[in-house]
Chain A
């Protein structure tokens, strides 16, 4: 396992950094929020043109066949300017599922559209207040050659903009994964306004008919595929949170070097120095977890363990750094004018998505065989 980036990864990282700095800088994303928009459709098309929507898909399906870590690297750079991208929902979660378990015909039906960006997909999984991939009550029934879906999904990221849904359901007591158009009859979708102003929706499914070839996988196969793509998503979110943590840390450090009170720089107070020094050590620990998880994303390392470690550690550290960033900025830290608050809100969402650090710690405990005690 290697913990530093290779040449190709660094080049991708640099071009992603350039793209977000010039095309979707923080000010532009703040402006989108002020207009009530969740993303910049035009900028998303430009990402498609760069090949990012299919970056990790095979070339015969319209992809670039870049290792999966490429998506995490793009997500991290997007995190720095708080830019929304379609990559996590459409590529990692949905295209990733199709590539792992769909039939050739199903792949031909869906993947080229997802790879080109013509289709935008979302994963409908969580039903309760917290991420819980094993508690699925949305029911699937067989009716003739078709399937019928009944139930609800509480929080579907990118659910409002999605034209395609990947739905986790329960079928004869087993997990099953379906793919269907998001405007299928019987679906009610309610857009959600989130603190990070990203796209999300609630869904109700009432007697929603799905064609026979809408079933992608069921039973063990479905559970394993779901586990894999969720672990990949966790690593991408970890990379994004880590990038945001670094921005917040650097911003706060700069502020402590400029802001004067009592006639001295805030940064000269030892109580504050030690808080920053501790955060620095935590930030570096989290960085190493992300680095190892990126390797695992590309097949080198234990994906489940490193996903739990990376998302758990970065989530915990990101919350801590965001909280300290607000506190150390003092009064201005709680104003909307300062960007700190935008980062804080994004971290809260990314932390919760696909399982917060408490969820990940529990996962880690299971994976290192502490489960009997839990």
Chain B
């Protein structure tokens, strides 16, 4: 038996013994544990799954053991991911530390930063949030203006970050700040690690059109950050952020189908179609079929990219189209379900409305965020046009 098939068998055995059956179902909205100092569990199974994966080192399976990781090589890590997906295990926790800033620290952090921050991430004890976007810097992220001014051994940070997920539950933030306003747009940016308990940090949750959300705005008022919390050199922040966004795409793909809460489009459409007015029904059914075909084609494309990637083919163009396709198709499906459900989908809350349809309505309102967050659809098209199709950058 090869080393990899031995590992696959032992991983499978361990997961079957240790992943509680309740953790092998699609999670409800907000049903995945948010790691950190204020961790909260909805159930014993959730806590067991969290603690067992943590103690196994499998929150960060490919990190060195000395930092609390699992010490697996790339091939065993992939096998573990395949086995997690095969058993339909939920992600044991959400942790931007492990997924995003951790890999950057592993590659570019100082020895002190690694020793100080990585073990807490790998054990899910410290929650991290991302401070990138600002009220004045959305798609054009590099125009950010949150200022970090050097003062002795510290930086003094003033400004604001927006669209920071779970900032209100986070212990630390990794942030892009402007350390040199005189330098070029990109060259003046540095990356800082900021303790969210530092005086001068204020967090305000943001209500969306869909209601409460995990998004927050964070304000910095003369916040003193020790200079040793800067990752890399001054002016290297932009490059580090690009590295980090590469990890983001990998993390999102790990999230996989098992972990996306949502309504089953086709099942709900089938339930709703017979209730629709007879005259409109054929046209509605035609639109359902069209959306179902698009969804089918997208799933096949994910599979094809996976297979082609494994066979060593270049799939960068395919991968670059996923976010655009998924978020746009998701919007379209929700629009269609709204049309099918008609008046019954107009409820905001309350018992008279069907629970599934109330959820649908909130999801429809939430579906707008996916075509905006993490690079708008228009930015995705720019990326496809320029990096994949090789068309020259335009003025606007």
In the assembly, what is the distance between CA of A312 and CA of B394, in Å?
35
Q: Tell whether, in the assembled complex, residue B303 and residue A3 are in contact, meaning their CB atoms are under 8 Å apart.
A: yes
Determine the main DSSP class of A at the interface with B: helix
Q: Which of A93-101, A153-161, A273-281 contacts B (4 or more CB under 8 A)?
A: A273-281
Pick from B296, B318, B382, B394: contact of A309, CB below 8 A: B296
Pick from B294, B325, B389: contact of A276, CB below 8 A: B389
Q: Tell whether, in the assembled complex, residue B307 and residue A2 are in contact, meaning their CB atoms are under 8 Å apart.
A: yes
Interface string of B304-327 (1 = CB under 8 A from A): 100110010100011001001100
Q: Does A313 contact B (CB under 8 A)?
A: yes
- Chain B, 349-395, CB within 8 A of any chain A CB: 378, 380-382, 384-386, 388-395
Q: Which of A117-125, A171-179, A360-368 contacts B (4 or more CB under 8 A)?
A: A360-368
- Chain A, 227-282, CB within 8 A of any chain B CB: 253, 256-257, 265, 267-270, 273-274, 276-278, 280-281
Q: Which of A59-67, A287-295, A348-356 contacts B (4 or more CB under 8 A)?
A: A287-295
Q: Tell whether, in the assembled complex, residue A270 and residue B301 are in contact, meaning their CB atoms are under 8 Å apart.
A: no
Pick from A257, A270, A277: contact of B384, CB below 8 A: A277
Q: Tell whether, in the assembled complex, residue B288 and residue A365 are in contact, meaning their CB atoms are under 8 Å apart.
A: yes
In the assembly, what is the distance between CA of A287 and CA of B302, in Å?
12
Q: Does B274 contact A (CB under 8 A)?
A: yes
CB distance from A255 to the nearest CB of B (A): 12
List the B residue with the shortest CB-CB distance to A253. B389
Q: Which residues of A contact B290 (CB under 8 A)?
A: 361
Q: Tell whether, in the assembled complex, residue B318 and residue A370 are in contact, meaning their CB atoms are under 8 Å apart.
A: no
CB distance from B127 to the nearest CB of A (A): 35
In the assembly, what is the distance between CA of A343 and CA of B281, in Å?
36
Q: Tell whether, in the assembled complex, residue B270 and residue A257 are in contact, meaning their CB atoms are under 8 Å apart.
A: no
In the assembly, what is the distance between CA of A303 and CA of B321, in Å?
27
In the assembly, what is the distance between CA of A287 and CA of B305, in Å?
11
Pick from A4, A267, A281, A362: contact of B308, CB below 8 A: A4
Q: Does B293 contact A (CB under 8 A)?
A: yes
- Chain B, 258-296, CB within 8 A of any chain A CB: 266, 269-270, 273-274, 276, 281-282, 284-286, 288-290, 292-294, 296
Q: Tell whether, in the assembled complex, residue B276 and residue A273 are in contact, meaning their CB atoms are under 8 Å apart.
A: no
Given contacts A280-B317, A292-B300, A368-B289, contact A373 B273 (CB under 8 A): yes
Pick from B300, B386, B392: contact of A265, CB below 8 A: B392
Q: Does A11 contact B (CB under 8 A)?
A: no
Q: Count chain A CB atoms within 10 A of each CB in B269, B290, B318, B395 and give the residue with the most.
A: B290
Given contacts A370-B270, A373-B273, A373-B274, contact A274 B293 (CB under 8 A): no
Pick from A276, A285, A369, A370: contact of B385, CB below 8 A: A276
List the A residue with the shortest CB-CB distance to B391. A267
In the assembly, what is the distance between CA of A284 and CA of B308, in Å?
13
Q: Tell whether, in the assembled complex, residue B394 and residue A374 are in contact, meaning their CB atoms are under 8 Å apart.
A: no
Q: Tell whether, in the assembled complex, residue A256 and residue B317 are in contact, meaning their CB atoms are under 8 Å apart.
A: no
Q: Which residues of B contact A372 (CB under 8 A)?
A: 273-274
In the assembly, what is the distance between CA of A336 and CA of B271, in Å?
51
- The interface size of chain A toward B, counting residues with CB under 8 Å, comes to 39
Q: Tell whether, in the assembled complex, residue B286 and residue A362 are in contact, meaning their CB atoms are under 8 Å apart.
A: yes
CB distance from A114 to the nearest CB of B (A): 33
Q: Does B30 contact A (CB under 8 A)?
A: no
Q: Tell whether, in the assembled complex, residue B289 and residue A309 are in contact, meaning their CB atoms are under 8 Å apart.
A: no
Pick from B269, B296, B321, B385: contact of A274, CB below 8 A: B385
Q: Tell whether, in the assembled complex, residue A277 and residue B289 are in contact, meaning their CB atoms are under 8 Å apart.
A: no
Q: Count chain A CB atoms within 10 A of each CB in B273, B296, B300, B318 and give the residue with the most.
A: B300
List the A residue with the shortest CB-CB distance to B301. A288
Q: Does B211 contact A (CB under 8 A)?
A: no
Q: Tell whether, in the assembled complex, residue A361 and residue B296 are in contact, meaning their CB atoms are under 8 Å apart.
A: no
List the A residue with the shortest CB-CB distance to B298. A285
Q: Tell whether, in the assembled complex, residue A368 and residue B300 are in contact, meaning their CB atoms are under 8 Å apart.
A: no
- Chain A, 289-336, CB within 8 A of any chain B CB: 289, 291-292, 309, 312-313
Q: Tell whether, in the assembled complex, residue A313 and residue B293 are in contact, meaning their CB atoms are under 8 Å apart.
A: yes
Q: Tell whether, in the assembled complex, residue A4 and residue B307 are in contact, meaning their CB atoms are under 8 Å apart.
A: yes
Q: Count chain A CB atoms within 10 A of each CB in B386, B388, B394 and give the residue with the most.
A: B394
CB distance from A117 to the nearest CB of B (A): 35
Q: Does B396 contact A (CB under 8 A)?
A: yes
Q: Which residues of A contact B296 (CB under 8 A)?
A: 289, 309
Q: Tell whether, in the assembled complex, residue B286 and residue A268 are in contact, meaning their CB atoms are under 8 Å apart.
A: no
Q: Does B209 contact A (CB under 8 A)?
A: no
Q: Which residues of B contact A270 (CB under 8 A)?
A: 382, 385, 394, 396
Q: Tell whether, in the assembled complex, residue A4 and residue B378 are in contact, meaning their CB atoms are under 8 Å apart.
A: no
Q: Does B297 contact A (CB under 8 A)?
A: yes
Q: Does A286 contact B (CB under 8 A)?
A: yes
Q: Which residues of B contact A368 (CB under 8 A)?
A: 266, 289, 292
In the assembly, what is the distance between CA of A349 and CA of B322, in Å?
32
Q: Tell whether, in the assembled complex, residue A268 and residue B384 are in contact, meaning their CB atoms are under 8 Å apart.
A: no
Q: Tell whether, in the assembled complex, residue B293 and residue A291 are in contact, meaning their CB atoms are under 8 Å apart.
A: no
In the assembly, what is the distance between CA of A273 and CA of B282, in Å?
35
In the assembly, what is the distance between CA of A224 and CA of B141, in Å?
59
CB distance from A329 to the nearest CB of B (A): 16
Q: Tell whether, in the assembled complex, residue B289 and residue A285 are in contact, meaning their CB atoms are under 8 Å apart.
A: no
Q: Tell whether, in the assembled complex, residue A313 and residue B384 are in contact, meaning their CB atoms are under 8 Å apart.
A: no
In the assembly, what is the distance between CA of A289 and CA of B295, in Å?
11
Q: Tell whether, in the assembled complex, residue B382 and residue A286 are in contact, meaning their CB atoms are under 8 Å apart.
A: no
Q: Tell whether, in the assembled complex, residue A281 and residue B325 are in contact, meaning their CB atoms are under 8 Å apart.
A: yes
Q: Which residues of B contact A364 (CB under 8 A)?
A: 289, 292-293
Q: Which A positions have Cβ atoms within 8 angstroms of B?
A: 2-4, 253, 256-257, 265, 267-270, 273-274, 276-278, 280-281, 284-289, 291-292, 309, 312-313, 361-362, 364-365, 368-370, 372-374
7 pairs of A and B residues whose beta carbons are closest in the complex: A273-B385, A365-B289, A373-B285, A288-B300, A277-B384, A285-B297, A3-B304
A-B contact pairs, 15 of them (CB 8 A): A4-B307, A257-B392, A267-B391, A268-B393, A273-B381, A273-B391, A274-B382, A274-B385, A286-B297, A287-B301, A287-B304, A313-B297, A361-B289, A365-B285, A374-B285
